[in-house]
Amino acid sequence: MFLARVEGSVVSTKKDPAMNGRKLLLLRPQLVDHNDPSKFRDGQNTVIAVDTVGAGEGEMVMFCQGSSARLAPNMKNAPVDAVIIGIVDTVDALGKIIFDAKKDNK
């Protein structure tokens, strides 16, 4: 599993039929900053993920990739590589809260 911030959405009118009706979100992976573990730094890549939990722009989410993504409900026969599986409330690193959705949601 990975952490990411939802940066936007992706709309595709022509796609594999197994993807019809699925909400696609653009994610920016978040990494604990090795220079200052009390904060995150943006990953360099972006990921398009199927939203299974009702996430929205600016939220911190958990997502999985690869064969694990197809283990999410109703994904077994869908050609997906990334699925959002949770909306994050808090992240604690080294005994310190480095993310709190009530305070940090942009």
Domain residue spans of the chain: 2-104
Distance of CA 89 to the CA centre of its chain: 13
Q: Give the predicted TM-score (pTM) of the model.
A: 0.88
**Which amino acid does the sequence have at 51?**
D
Q: How far apart are CA 56 and CA 82, in angstroms?
A: 16
Is the per-residue pLDDT at 2 higher than 80? yes
Question: Do 81 and 66 contact (CB within 8 A), yes or no?
Answer: yes
Query: Which residue, among 36, 34, 21, 29, has the nearest Cα to 74 in the 3D structure?
Result: 21
Is the per-residue pLDDT at 37 higher than 70? yes
pLDDT at 79: 82
Give me the CATH code for the 2-104 domain, please.
2.40.50.220
pLDDT digits (tens, 9 = 90+) for 54-104: 999 999 999 999 877 776 767 777 788 899 999 999 999 888 899 999 987
**Which amino acid does the sequence have at 90?**
T
pLDDT bracket for residue 9 (50, 70, 90) = very high
Is the per-residue pLDDT at 48 higher than 60? yes
Token pair belonging to 99: 């993310």
Plot region of 60 (φ>0 → left; ψ -120 to 50 → alpha; else → beta):
beta
